[in-house]
Amino acid sequence: MNQAAGVAVVSVMPPSRGRLTAAASLAPLVWFKCGGKAEWLFEPADEEDLRDFLRDLDPAMPVMGLGLGSNLIVRDGGVAGVVVRLGKPFARVTTDGLRLRAGGGASGILVSSTARDAGIGGLEFLRSIPGTVGGFVRMNGGAYGRETSDVLVSATVVLRSGERLDLMADELRYSYRHSELPPGAIVVAADFSGNVADPAAIQREMDRIAAEREASQPLRSRTGGSTFKNPPGEKAWALIDRAGCRGLRRGDAQVSEKHCNFLLNLGDATSTEIEALGEEVRARVAAETGVRLEWEIQRIGSAA
């Protein structure tokens, strides 16, 4: 993949009112601040623009969505096809009674804060998910004993074909950090429900969650959040610690000493080094405990 190749095919890409960039660097858009380029980066002007673009796009062209890039490794060889990034037009949040509708690009902090202002309880945990609505709807994001599936009513998606589809929560067949969202679908909005609560009480719970995260997680580092899923009945961090991996390094990639289910980029780590460190952790944990950890971080693209 190179700039010349991108320019050579620009004439066959569908027109749009948004921004379409060839050979776009993804490193600035992900929390690890490393990784390769997207063959194409598309930032649609609105839902209609996204639908029209996908409808007219070559069906053979791969498509994937990108949120805040918080739980993501972009491999150094880059990502083929089109990466869709939902910007401000998809970050609006509105309320109606105990229902809340959020765009796919809205952050968990914005969703929980809007719920607080409307006196809607039960969504406080979304404040601790470092991503957008699209990401935590797709991955059933959760924290502090609750998951997206506990509060989601429905999701609006744009399919790879450009068709708009509303899916009820049970149609997504949620399980731990997994949904059966159609391949290539982009979550453009979601409806959540909560309960009547005092805004001051909601704020206290949000403050508690924020303080707990600050005390236990390396929030001010270049990281990808929780690296591995918790195995049934186990905590991934405890297994990693037991295997002697706390502080383990490969180049500038390191297992966090503060919370060892977090990987860090200490400066100039490549995505290859970060992923290789994760695989080394998995191997050591398997050798020590017999448990094979599963990646929670999404890894996309090709090796350099």
Same domain, 188 and 125: yes
Examine the domain organization and report whether 79 and 181 are in the same domain. no
Output the pLDDT for position 130. Answer: 82
95 bridge partner residues:
100
| Residue 9, in any domain of the structure | yes
Asked if 96 and 193 sit in the same domain, the reply is: yes
* In a shared domain, residues 74 and 101: no
**Cα(101)–Cα(45) distance, rounded to whole angstroms?**
19
* Claim to verify: residue 151 and residue 70 sit in the same structural domain: no
Q: What is the pLDDT along the chain (304 residues), one digit of tens a residue?
A: 444 334 334 447 999 999 999 999 999 999 999 999 999 999 999 999 999 999 999 999 999 999 889 899 999 999 999 999 999 999 999 999 999 999 999 999 999 999 999 999 999 999 988 889 999 999 998 888 899 999 999 999 999 999 999 999 999 999 988 999 988 899 999 999 999 999 999 999 999 999 998 888 898 889 998 999 999 999 999 999 999 999 999 999 999 999 999 999 999 999 999 999 999 999 999 999 999 999 999 999 999 7
- Give me the pLDDT at residue 219, please: 81
Please indicate whether residue 296 is annotated as part of the active site: yes
Number of domains in the chain: 3
Query: Do 80 and 95 lie in a common domain?
Result: no
At residue 2, the pLDDT reads: 41
Of the residues 39, 124, 147, 296, only one is catalytic, namely 296
101 shares its domain with 193: yes
Q: Same domain for 134 and 183? A: yes
CATH code, 248 = 3.90.78.10
Known catalytic residue at 70: no
Among the options 51, 116, 127, 177, which is catalytic? 177
Assigned domain for 267 exists? yes
* Claim to verify: residue 31 and residue 69 sit in the same structural domain: yes
78 and 116, same structural domain?
no
Alpha-carbon separation of residue 223 from 69, 88, 103, 158 (angstroms): 10, 24, 25, 30
- Distance CA(7)–CA(44), nearest Å, equals 19
**Of 201, 230, 256, which residue is a domain's last?**
201
Q: What is the CATH number of the domain that holds 178?
A: 3.30.465.10
Two tokens, residue 32: 């690890």
Beta bridge partners of 92: none
Establish whether 226 is a catalytic residue: yes
* Residues 60, 38 share a domain: yes
Q: Residue 130: which domain range?
A: 91-201
In this prediction, residue 5 carries a pLDDT of 37
Could you say which of 141, 170, 201 is where a domain stops? 201
Domain boundary among 23, 55, 88: 88
Residue 82 sits in the same domain as residue 105: no
Residue 206 lies in a domain: no
| Active-site residue, from 113, 149, 226, 271 | 226
Q: Which residue has the tokens 């719920």?
A: 115
